[in-house]
Amino acid sequence: RRTILLGAAATALAAPFIRPGPARAADFAYKIANNQPMEHPSNVRLAEATKAILEETSGSVDIQIFPSNQLGADTDVLGQLRAGGVEFFQLSPVILSTLVPNASINGIGFAFPNYDAVWKAMDGELGAYARGQIEEAGLIVMDKIWDNGFRQTTSSTKAITSPADLEGFKIRVPVSPLWTSMFSAFGAAPASINFAEVYTALQTGIVDGQENPLTIMKVAKMWEVQKYLSLTNHMWDGFWLLGNRRAWNALPEDAQQIIAKHFNAGAEKQRADVMELNASLRSDLEGHGFTFNEVDPKPFEEKLREAGFYAEWKKTYGDEAWAILEAAVGRQL
């Protein structure tokens, strides 16, 4: 009880998303953090899941959502998760690679042709491989990865129509060696910036562009600080739902099962939500002032190949991981 109260006091300023509480005090008052506002499908489904967990554990497990980086920027919260200051955290595998190097392998440029290939891989061997790596690093990870999406490129200055448009382009990328490497290979000038600072970085002109899936362009209101949206589809990214091992092991086994069941079901529903949103987001974002263009991905992939991007990352991940990726996408990269 004592530590729970201290934890609550320490985070009181951060104002979590408040759900009507249970009548009794919870045995386990846990936190889950992520970088998205409550409107993002991740948090809509997370709110449902945590409510179901509270009910099915008869008020014993009360998980509060801290959206929008309220507990800190992603790379800071990853440290808090390891230390146990936060019990659960949704994080991109590509950012997670700052701790678990091979976790970023799903983010290799142009690896996945479509969502079917993504879910087959991430619910199959590639996902199992990544989860194995994450567990070896001492973290808990739920089986089902949540969707972030295929990433698109925005700019305040010009449409990105060919790899040449990326030369010297000042673009924000999330904090991760893979992202920096990819945009360096394009000849761009990538700046590693946590999502918490992206809007300000674009607003103040520290960078001219950024890249994210359409759902995030929408919930982050990117049209306020960006003009052109190029459908580059240059990589697929998700969010693993991670847990602190000590906090997880402190839970009774039946509570663990209930939590895993609802978090994994939430992931599947969130994937469907994002898919549905994708169908309408282009016209929605155009309505907000974005100018869209499509690109032929081939010259972009070629540019990465010529720059030695694939060869370098094959060496970094190692033959075993690379073979699992190639088997998952059904071709040599």
Q: Which of residues 112-131 bind ligand X2X (CB under 6 A)?
A: none
Query: Which residue in 63, 81, 95, 202 binds ligand X2X (CB under 6 A)?
Result: 95
3-state DSSP assignment of residue 315:
helix
In the complex, minimum distance from the CB of residue 221 to ligand X2X, in angstroms, rounded to a whole number? 14
**310 contacts: CB under 8 Å, gap ≥ 6:** 108, 304, 333
What's the closest the beta carbon of residue 173 comes to ligand X2X, in angstroms?
A: 8
**CA–CA distance, 211 with 236 (Å, rounded to integer):** 11
Of residues 173 and 333, the one with the C-beta less far from ligand X2X: 173
Among 68, 92, 106, 270, the residue binding ligand X2X under the rule CB under 6 A is 92
Measure the CA–CA gap between 4 and 26, rounded to whole angstroms: 9
148: contact with ligand X2X by CB under 6 A: yes
Residues 6 or more apart whose Cβ sits within 8 Å of residue 213:
148, 149, 150, 151, 152, 237, 274
**Does 179 interact with ligand X2X (rule: CB under 6 A)?**
no
Q: Cα(74)–Cα(299) distance, rounded to whole angstroms?
A: 32
Residues in region 222-251 near ligand X2X by CB under 6 A: 237
Rounded to whole angstroms, how far apart are CA atoms 96 and 92?
6
Query: Considering the rule CB under 6 A, would residue 324 count as an interface residue with ligand X2X?
Result: no
Task: Report the residue from 212, 215, 244, 270 that binds ligand X2X according to the rule CB under 6 A.
Answer: 212
Q: Which is nearer to ligand X2X, 47 or 201 (CB)?
A: 201
**Cα–Cα dist 147/216, whole Å:** 11
Q: Say whether residue 64 binds ligand X2X (CB under 6 A).
A: no
70 binds ligand X2X (CB under 6 A): no
Contact present, 140 and 243 (Cβ < 8 Å): yes
174 binds ligand X2X (CB under 6 A): yes
111 binds ligand X2X (CB under 6 A): no
Q: Which of 221, 194, 220, 218 is nearest to 206 (CA)?
A: 194
Q: What residues make contact with ligand X2X under the rule CB under 6 A?
A: 35, 92, 95, 148, 174, 195, 212, 216, 237
